[in-house]
Amino acid sequence: MREEAAVLDILQIPVLQDNYIYLAHDPVTRATAAVDPAEAAPVLAALDANGWTLTHILNTHHHWDHVGGNLTLKRETRCLVFGAERDRNDIPGLDVGLNEGDMVELGRSRAQVLAVPGHTQGHIAYWFRDDLALFCGDTLFAMGCGRLLGGTAEQMWHSLDRLRALPPDTRLYCAHEYTQTNGRFAVTLEPENPALTRRMEQVDEARRQGRPTVPSKLGEELATNPFLRPESAELQRTLGLEGAAPVRVFAEVRRRKDAFR
């Protein structure tokens, strides 16, 4: 017999300037994970408000605005901290070191660990297949991708190329609200892309109303995110890279985004 597909309730907590922490909760087993808890206090407040108890911390990488709440949450809740084995010395309180292909059980749900280096060398993503939910940290953003702070363009392209092969209905729970700036940049590369124009109108409207633009669906990203679209003829034309290899186009988009203000 097949299990019911979606298991998790997912709660989004905006913190700091533009970070998102996520709580993923299985209402039957009551297992609850905090993904990339930048701070402890907002997580404790949300747990309290919902009557949930934290069982897991899932870190995607070691940057301070993703792990800042680890030690306080661990002390207060006795949860287990999961993160890349490679980041063992950089993730505070790490209990379970993860590698590519490992599975993390969260109540009735399971996440597959995907190694996605590029933003950092040890960056991982958590792919909850049955829930069609991907927690991708600072690797893939709505209409953007993470900066190359520890890895190469080749690594990042390989990581994004893997992520873009997931089902188009996958929801992308990324760690920052960068969508509007990302979109403004994307429009300079593909001004004639109707899906992009339409999406920017929706994003501008959402931001005017103070609503989040995250999570997005992978299908939307495939149609509008320049970092996933190196095969786009218009994009290649703008960059003067007609017929170039995807990794070369990706690297140029990343280089231009770094300089975009």
Helix, strand, or coil (residue 70): helix
Assess whether 62 carries a catalytic annotation: no
> Phi and psi of 22, rounded to 5°?
-115, 140
Binding window for Zn ion (CB under 5 A); candidates: 47-55, 88-96, 135-143, 249-257: 135-143
Dist. CA 55–CA 65, nearest whole Å? 20
Identity of the residue, 63 or 254, whose beta carbon is nearer to Zn ion in the bound complex: 63
Residue nearest Zn ion (C-beta atom):
63
The CB-of-1 to Zn ion minimum distance in angstroms stands at 41
Residue 16: both structure tokens together = 């700091």
Give 141-154 as a DSSP string: ETTEE---SSS-HH
Does 87 bind Zn ion (CB under 5 A)? Our answer is no
Binding window for Zn ion (CB under 5 A); candidates: 16-24, 131-139, 159-167, 241-249: 131-139
The CB-of-178 to Zn ion minimum distance in angstroms stands at 12
Binding window for Zn ion (CB under 5 A); candidates: 100-108, 137-145, 151-159, 206-214: 137-145
Angle 215-217-220 (CA atoms, 0-180°, nearest 5)? 120
Q: How far is CA 190 from CA 130, 171, 197, 213, 220, in A?
A: 34, 24, 9, 20, 15
The CB-of-140 to Zn ion minimum distance in angstroms stands at 12
Assess whether 25 carries a catalytic annotation: no
Assess whether 61 carries a catalytic annotation: yes
DSSP symbol at 103? E
Does 63 bind Zn ion (CB under 5 A)? Our answer is yes
Identity of the residue, 127 or 178, whose beta carbon is nearer to Zn ion in the bound complex: 178
Of the candidates 25, 62, 123, 176, the residue annotated as catalytic is: 176
**Which residues, listed in sequence order, are joined to residue 13 by a DSSP beta bridge?**
21
Of the candidates 25, 62, 66, 123, the residue annotated as catalytic is: 66
Of the candidates 25, 56, 62, 63, the residue annotated as catalytic is: 63
The residue from 87, 138, 190, 252 that contacts Zn ion (CB under 5 A) is 138
8 Å CB contact between 130 and 7:
yes
Q: Judging by beta carbons within 10 Å of its beta carbon (0-12, 13-18, 19+), is residue 119 exposed, middle or buried?
A: buried
Assess whether 66 carries a catalytic annotation: yes
Assess whether 176 carries a catalytic annotation: yes
Catalytic residues: 61, 63, 65-66, 119, 138, 176
Binding site for Zn ion (CB under 5 A): 63, 138
